[in-house]
């Protein structure tokens, strides 16, 4: 066996292993290996595919991160129609459904399957020779949208079928139907991240799932916690002649496909009990449901019953009653988030909704507040969106008090008093204060991060402790920390305290670029901080800089310039800067070489370095007049290759770009410094 054949065999083995562990983790919730072990398998497969590009097939687990964005979704004609279900809302409807089944079949006893009605987005998947090749939305039932690239990012969906039972044969062609959705806990975490980032919250898991699957950029879909359950397959010659739906589901499970385990087989009397149990237990389920699907179990009976219009006669959706209640808005307040976003919150007369007492409901942002026109004293309908987030659905205008007035959004932060300013899209209003207590944990974490003041040991957990205990109330307070103060904190020992104090002291000697970045000015990333430092090498000059002065800085547009100008005009922020300088922080102006090996050169960094971090290496190159790029091209002058350098090194070799190892790179830096 030659080298390629060995690599091919190992890649197949790794794909099988990773598929198995994905199934254990995402479907069964029962992992067999640690995350580190999983990552090691993935890195090995990535290495083989880098060395042998032909092994990087579309169904490989390494390809789940998402491909290039598309301009529009293509159309997919379904091989068999994707039917929609007729709805039942009460016991009378169930009796009518059962009578119709008995009349059409002539039977007095029929077995039914009861499944949770997932509140997600219906999809169709096609596998050929065991490999996932295409996926589509329901669309109009006949034609759907091609969302194959997005479906590839879903971890619970196997890209290749590896049967769990040795006796199960992989069909040449398999078309299955199912539902893409987001679990409740994943939805909660997703909205937490969006709130921290100052992004609009999703109203419910279904909207989030549908919107995520229909993103034109698969990388956005890959960042969302989508999962999938499959519940049907299109008959074909490659499949056994199933006698029942339950038998069919078991076959799909043995093929390694994710199947909903909350399935019950009942007679018609059992349907009522299953419905009552489901209604009572809906909030305990890990996913969102809006009813129960009732299906005839026997496949032959299904064929005999057929369909009417676009709905099957053998299945219905038995819907749960809507969970909405009316209550009164007692007050509207403003909540300031970790990123400074001012969010209006309605304080309600407590009311039970879906078994949970609700006393608050977010109004998301000013635009949403205006759209719904919610006011103090209003009677409103409230629901728990996605059974998770309390949401005001509508206002009962006929009950509105005669003296009601629209809510006035504050011009200043209610926590610290700093000016409140709208984002560039006008949707979110934020506090502009650098020392706002509501944002302080996030501000301190950013202030201490690697590209900012680079205070090793001061991460999110410690920042939370320092702010919660009142030990740190501003940036400057970090430089007033003592060993005695630190030792009062939980899990802080002598050595840790000494190391942290040393890192804090070391951070005082910094650069203007790092200093400006550390202040956490919205939109000011590392590159903008570099351009601003070059234009304003001394921070006090920004106190008096005009909007026009800032707009003239390279790559700083009008919107960003306005944000920067507003920040440095705020007295609270000027005081924060002055306090840092008084505490001993000394930001040095940029020093750019006018000669040397990196002047005017484009450098690409790849792999790990033992002598310095990637950020430090980038800074050293830029300080010497060079530019650091993220990709290799014919215009690249040097590629600095550290340990475990990957595809960038290979491309540099192919293009004949000069490659420097870490030692050569450091020697060039030292030689330039001496020269």
Cα 614 from Cα 606, distance rounded (Å):
9
345 alpha-carbon distance from chain centroid: 24
How far apart CA 472 and CA 479 sit, in angstroms, is 9
* pLDDT (0 to 100) of residue 58: 67
Closest to 565 measured CA to CA, from 545, 539, 583, 579: 545
Q: Give the CB-side neighbour count of residue 122, counting CA atoms within 13 A.
A: 18
| pLDDT in the model for residue 500 | 94
Q: What does the pLDDT average to over 198-218?
A: 81
Determine which one of 103, 117, 248, 582 is catalytic: 117
| Start-to-end Cα distance in the chain | 55
**Rounded CA gap, 343 and 348, in Å?**
16
For the segment 205-229, the average pLDDT, to the nearest whole number, is 86
- Across residues 336-342, what is the average pLDDT? 83
CA distances to 279, 391, 521 from 197, in Å: 35, 21, 14
Q: Mean pLDDT: which of 201-210, 497-506, 632-641 is highest?
A: 497-506
Looking at the DSSP assignment, which residues form a beta bridge with residue 148? none
Summarize the confidence of residues 172-188 as an average pLDDT: 92
For residue range 73-90, list pLDDT tens digits in order.
888 999 998 988 888 888
Interval 605-650: pLDDT, tens: 888 887 777 777 887 888 787 888 888 888 899 989 888 777 888 8
In the chain, what percentage of residues exceed pLDDT 90?
Answer: 37
Q: How confident is the model at residue 387 (pLDDT cuts 50, 70, 90)?
A: very low
Q: Is 495 among the residues known to form the active site? A: no
- Beta-carbon count within 10 A of 358 CB: 20
* Distance set, CA 573 to CA 286, 429, 464 (Å): 45, 18, 21
pLDDT of residue 672: 56
* Residue-wise pLDDT tens digits, 647-675: 888 888 888 889 888 888 888 877 654 44
% of the chain beyond a pLDDT of 70: 93
Structure tokens that stand for 590 in this block? 């940029």
Residue 561: is its pLDDT beyond 70? yes
What is the biggest distance separating any 2 CA atoms in the chain, rounded to whole angstroms? 98
pLDDT for 544: 93
pLDDT tens digit string along 564-601? 999 999 999 999 999 999 999 999 988 766 667 888 88
Q: pLDDT confidence of 26, banded at 50, 70, 90? A: low
CATH numbers and ranges of domains, the chain: 3-63 (1.10.287.610), 86-319 (3.30.470.30), 325-399 (2.40.50.140), 602-674 (3.40.50.10190)
Mean pLDDT along residues 260-269: 79
Q: Burial code of 201-220, b = ≥16 C-beta within 10 A, e = fewer?
A: bbbbbbebbbebbebeebee
**Buried-exposed string 592-614: b where 16+ CB fall within 10 A, e elsewhere:** eeeebbbeebbbbbbbebeebeb
Distance (Å, whole) CA 201 – CA 195: 7
Give residue 675's pLDDT.
40
């Amino acid at each position: 066996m030659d080298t390629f054949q060995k690599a091919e065999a190992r890649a197949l083995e790794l794909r099988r292993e990773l598929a198995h562990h994905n199934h254990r983790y995402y479907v069964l919730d029962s992992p067999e290996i640690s995350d580190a072990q999983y990552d090691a398998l993935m890195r090995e497969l990535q290495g083989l595919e880098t060395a042998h590009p032909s092994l990087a097939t579309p169904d490989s687990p390494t390809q789940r991160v998402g491909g290039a964005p598309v301009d529009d979704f293509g159309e997919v004609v379904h091989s068999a129609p994707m039917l929609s279900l007729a709805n039942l809302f009460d016991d009378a409807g169930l009796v009518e459904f059962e009578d119709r089944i008995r009349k059409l079949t002539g039977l007095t006893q029929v077995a039914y399957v009861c499944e949770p009605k997932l509140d997600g987005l219906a999809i169709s998947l096609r596998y050929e020779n065991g490999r996932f090749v295409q996926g589509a939305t329901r669309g109009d039932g006949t034609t759907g949208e091609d969302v194959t690239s997005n479906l590839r990012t879903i971890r619970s969906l196997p890209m290749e079928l590896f049967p769990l039972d040795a006796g199960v044969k992989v069909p040449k062609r398999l078309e299955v139907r199912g539902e893409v959705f987001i679990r409740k806990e994943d939805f909660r975490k997703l909205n937490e991240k969006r709130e921290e980032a100052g992004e609009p919250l999703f109203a419910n898991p279904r909207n989030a799932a549908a919107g995520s699957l229909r993103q034109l950029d698969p990388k956005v879909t890959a960042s969302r916690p989508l999962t999938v359950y499959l519940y049907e397959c299109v008959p074909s010659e490659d499949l056994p002649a199933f006698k029942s739906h339950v038998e069919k589901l078991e076959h799909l499970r043995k093929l390694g496909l994710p199947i909903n385990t909350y399935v019950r087989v009942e007679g018609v009397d059992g349907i009522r009990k299953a419905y009552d149990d489901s209604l009572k237990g809906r909030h305990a389920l890990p996913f969102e449901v809006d009813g129960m699907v009732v299906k005839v179990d026997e496949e032959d009976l299904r064929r005999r019953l057929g369909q009417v219009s676009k709905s099957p006669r053998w299945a219905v959706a038995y819907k749960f009653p809507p969970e909405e209640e009316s209550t009164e808005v007692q007050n509207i307040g403003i909540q300031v988030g970790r990123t400074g976003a001012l969010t209006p919150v309605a304080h309600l007369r407590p009311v039970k909704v879906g078994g949970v007492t609700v006393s608050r409901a977010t109004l998301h942002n000013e635009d949403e507040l205006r759209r719904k026109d919610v006011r103090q004293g209003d009677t409103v309908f409230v629901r728990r969106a996605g059974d998770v987030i309390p949401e005001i659905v509508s206002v009962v205008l006929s009950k509105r008090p005669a003296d009601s007035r629209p809510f006035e959004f504050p011009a200043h932060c209610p926590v610290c008093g700093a000016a409140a300013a709208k984002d560039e899209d006008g949707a979110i209003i934020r506090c502009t204060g650098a020392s706002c207590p509501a944002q302080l944990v996030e501000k301190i974490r950013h202030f201490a991060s690697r590209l900012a003041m680079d205070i090793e040991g001061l991460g999110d957990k410690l920042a939370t402790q320092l702010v919660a205990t009142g030990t740190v109330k501003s940036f400057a307070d970090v430089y007033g920390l003592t060993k005695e103060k630190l030792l009062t904190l939980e899990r802080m020992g002598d050595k840790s305290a000494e190391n942290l104090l040393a890192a804090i002291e070391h951070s005082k000697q910094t650069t203007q670029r790092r200093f400006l970045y550390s202040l956490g000015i919205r939109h000011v990333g590392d590159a903008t901080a570099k351009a601003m430092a070059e234009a304003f090498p001394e921070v006090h000059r920004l106190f008096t800089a005009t909007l026009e002065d800032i707009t003239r800085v390279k790559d700083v547009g009008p919107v960003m310039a306005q944000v920067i100008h507003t920040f440095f005009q705020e007295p609270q922020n000027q005081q924060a800067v002055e306090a840092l300088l008084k505490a001993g922080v000394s930001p040095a102006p940029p020093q750019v070489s006018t000669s040397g090996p990196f002047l005017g050169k484009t450098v690409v960094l790849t792999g790990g370095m033992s002598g310095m971090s990637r950020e430090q290496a980038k800074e050293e190159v830029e300080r010497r007049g060079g530019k650091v790029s993220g990709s290799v091209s014919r215009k690249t002058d040097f590629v600095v290759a550290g340990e475990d350098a990957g595809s960038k090194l290979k491309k540099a070799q192919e293009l004949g770009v000069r490659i420097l190892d870490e030692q050569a790179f450091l020697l060039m830096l030292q030689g330039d410094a001496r020269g």
